[in-house]
Structure 1
Amino acid sequence: MRKGLFKILVKINNAVLPSLIKKDPSKLSTLQKAILGYRYWVLTKALD
């Protein structure tokens, strides 16, 4: 149940949130760092 929820969140994140793949992490704003951290957290929970 919980893993399925995180898989759905990953799909929503990919559709809604911006991709930060080509940007240098040291040059991101605070909001962009928070988005990147949130996307990473959801992805790792979906893969566990």
Structure 2
Amino acid sequence: MEKSFFKVLAKINKIILPSFTKKRLDLAKASKFQLAIIGWRYFVTTKALG
């Protein structure tokens, strides 16, 4: 159940949240908010895959 929840959440994140890799964002120059979004997407993706 938990894994399917994170899979749905990952799809929602993909639609709603911006993709910084497509924008070629430099992590050293990223703001705290951008780093928080990157961290959240990473957390959800690893939970959905694992």
TM-score above 0.5, yes or no = yes
Structure 2 residues without counterparts, runs of 5 or longer: none
User: Aligned pair count?
Assistant: 48
Distance of 2:11 and 2:36 partners within structure 1: 18
Identical aligned residues as a percent: 52
Which residue is equivalent to 1:37?
A: 39
Normalised TM-score (structure 2)? 0.92
1:18 aligns with 2:18: yes
> Matched residue of 1:20: which SS?
coil
Equivalent residue, structure 2, for 1:4: 4
Structure 1, unpaired ranges of 5+: none
Aligned-residue RMSD, C-alpha: 0.5
